[in-house]
Chains A and B, each alone.
Chain A
């Protein structure tokens, strides 16, 4: 049976003045997929996510998340998605648990349910030991993991992670990637994440989209991209970097 499509974009375009940030993007992501959105800085990855979330309006084209139009039904979409912004902020003078409780309440989750959920999530993102410390004292990696916990507190169907590994050290990066992979495996969540780092995308994505200067130049499983982009036969050795450079030169 064909998997249900949860994210659908058609001819999606966003202009800032005369500058095209996203150019006629057509892309779908199926239920349970991990989609890696790869592109250099300024490619339009964040802008695409903002349109998927209804945080900015598309200039033209259509977006559907689980069948809802984020521009017209923002609340319906926000009930079922989780979003980790590129630079996530917290209420610095509150501890991890208080920050999570606030987000839970904003999602209308009663405290008696969220208490257990918060404990479980803190365990899961490895912050249980630091839960009573003020977030102001957290390291970048801890903040990023707390961000993931905040995304998961509402038990979303789809999660959008914007550069989840940016600014993390190798250890922090690996923990984050493991966490993302676990979400997909254990909870069958649909994950749409962006990054400008090739190897990370390669490690955890089922499918990859390459975005350059607002245009989606390629999308598909890694092997398929290699065959199409480099003209390789199945089984031949390749790296994502080669593919990436190829598309980059073309664009």
Chain B
């Protein structure tokens, strides 16, 4: 235990004095606050003299405004925080030749990885919590609404989801720092995987879908619908490999109680569509949680897979000081 605690403390000190991390964190906090305050100001305009809709407070996070919403922004650039915190966790010690000293102290090797991961998660939690707090404060001033108990719960779940999501990227970056000896390589590898999983999977998915189930103009209505549904289903399955899509689906369900399903609208059956139009009540919190639980679990699961590989590589690795 003393091993984890000692390394954790040192890592925290390192993060707090790391220019690189402070810059990225400041940038992300700044842009996030700007996006949310722009949304807040336009909402202030629109809501003047109108009865406030339910869950108006959450709209601060989910409305797209001019560019994109705060939630989308974190989905897009949040991973950078995780990558910055983790990409040189182990290979920095290797190239600084402190690793062979570290592993010859009476601590378990996994304590090194665990402590570094925990320190990173703490930093992520600090950044995300302060972001959500700043935006909430802004929202109270701009829209003049105090969030209700349920909204606070939803925001808390959103916070947890975001921390898990960014921690996945932290885990992936730490894995690369174990596998690659050079910090430049691990940084590039993390960025490449981030870009690939976040941006190209969607593209690749639609290519794949068009190749497997092309949508062509036919007279036969039933056939066309079939192809269309199949195409959409393939795209959806492909997007499940993208943590960004998982995160986006989960957070929009949590923060937007009017949504009843994470599926795209086209995939709903007529009855679903009917019920959606009939019951325009918000989905209860419990139900929202039930819907996002699988996403949370799969995000945690892939983080654990990263860790499993980390351990497998690092635990028995020979560590020379050269």
Contacts and interface: CB of A to CB of B under 8 A. Distances in A.
Interface string A190-208: 0000000000000000000
Nearest to B96: A89
Contact of A53 (B2, B98, B104): B104
B108 interface: yes
Contact of B101 (A50, A57, A85): A85
B248 interface: no
Interface string A44-70: 001000100101110000000000000
B2 A106 contact: yes
Given A56-B318, A106-B102, 19 more contacts: A50-B318, A55-B103, A55-B318, A55-B319, A56-B319, A75-B108, A78-B106, A79-B106, A85-B104, A86-B320, A86-B321, A87-B321, A87-B322, A88-B97, A89-B99, A90-B96, A106-B3, A107-B105, A107-B106
Contacts of A46: 320
Nearest to B100: A85
B59 to A, nearest CB: 45
Nearest to B108: A75
Contacts of A92: 96
A169 interface: no
A105 B4 CA distance: 10
B79 to A, nearest CB: 27
Contacts of A108: 2, 106
Interface of A: 46, 50, 53, 55-57, 75, 78-79, 81, 83, 85-92, 102-103, 105-108, 150, 162
Contacts of B7: 106
B107 interface: yes
A106 B3 CA distance: 5
Contacts of B319: 50, 55-56
Contacts of B98: 89-91
A56 B318 CA distance: 5
Interface of B: 2-3, 6-7, 10, 96-108, 316, 318-322
Contacts of A81: 104
Q: Which of B3, B98, B316 has the most CB of A within 10 A?
A: B98
Q: Which of A81, A89, A91, A102 has the most CB of B within 10 A?
A: A89
Contact of A103 (B2, B96, B101): B101
Contact of B105 (A88, A106, A162): A106
Nearest to B316: A57
A234 B103 CA distance: 46
A75 B103 contact: no
Contacts of B322: 86-87
Contacts of A55: 100, 103-104, 318-319
A106 B106 CA distance: 7
Contacts of A106: 2-3, 6-7, 102, 105-107
Nearest to A57: B316
Contact of B97 (A50, A87, A162): A87
A227 B97 CA distance: 42
Contacts of B99: 89
Contacts of B100: 55, 83, 85
B96 A91 contact: yes
A78 B109 CA distance: 12
B320 A50 contact: yes
B6 A75 contact: no
B96 A75 contact: no
Given A50-B320, A53-B104, A87-B322, A105 B97 contact: no
Contacts of B104: 53, 55, 78, 81, 83, 85
A79 B2 CA distance: 13
A102 B96 contact: no
Contacts of A86: 320-322
B106 A89 contact: no
Nearest to A78: B106
Nearest to A160: B104
Contact of A85 (B2, B3, B321): B321
A150 to B, nearest CB: 7
A75 B108 CA distance: 7
Contacts of B108: 75
A162 B149 CA distance: 63
A103 B102 CA distance: 8
A215 B319 CA distance: 22
Contacts of B10: 102
Nearest to A75: B106
Contacts of A102: 6, 10
B181 to A, nearest CB: 14
A102 B13 CA distance: 12
7 contacts: A50-B320, A53-B104, A79-B106, A81-B104, A89-B101, A90-B96, A102-B10
A89 B97 contact: yes
Closest 5 CB pairs of A and B: A89-B97, A85-B321, A56-B318, A78-B106, A105-B6
A75 B27 CA distance: 43
